Chains A and B, each alone.
Chain A
């Protein structure tokens, strides 16, 4: 079966432009997560979806960041008016479910490398 896929793999944009990053989770996975990794840093949680709902958006750095998920599958992360500090690798992960006493394994996509000039 296919793993988590993300597109584009690389995106170079000019400061002030909007970008959309796409994530296709593993089929049947109900939970979907967005993280980002800035240079030399660990992965930073952005937002989590359970189905089409986003119970936790606490990691979104500003109101320029938004995300949606449709049909319980594909998710899009949108960054408006990009800034240079938004440059990072944006990673998507999915898992079967969430909650309970034990975390389910999150499977990651290859990421989208965003460069804001």
Chain B
């Protein structure tokens, strides 16, 4: 039972354009969502997060949107750069006293010149 789903295993985008990565979740108890970026042979690196009390959070080129009614969130990268090429993981947590993260399977983003 996958509680966090990233249905697109890969995405290819041209440099300078917008990258949109999507994530769906099923557990309505999730109240905190995160995006991590992972390069080969490295651990995941925190990118951006959003609390369920918000519907948008922006940090530089990265914006995360949360649609609670649809149980959907997305990560927008504008403009995309070749260095953004990596695997992006969506993760979710509830506030049940600790913050075990539930991860999606990841989306591999390739930004080409």
Say yes or no: A42 contacts B4, CB within 8 Å.
yes
| Chain A residues bordering chain B, tally (CB within 8 A) | 32
Say yes or no: A108 contacts B44, CB within 8 Å.
yes
In the assembled complex, A70 has its CB within 8 A of some CB on chain B: no
Question: Which one of B32, B44, B103, B106 lies within 8 Å of A102 (CB-CB)?
Answer: B32
Interface size class of B (residues with CB under 8 A): 20 to 34
Q: Please provide the chain B residues from 60 to 98 with a CB less than 8 Å away from any CB of chain A in the complex.
A: 89, 91, 93, 95, 97-98
- If A40-B105, A42-B103 touch, does A106 touch B98 (CB 8 Å cutoff)? no
Beta-carbon nearest neighbor of B36 in chain A: A108
Complex A-B, nearest 10 residue pairs according to Cβ-Cβ distance, in ascending order: A108-B43, A103-B99, A42-B103, A98-B98, A43-B103, A42-B105, A103-B93, A103-B32, A99-B97, A108-B44
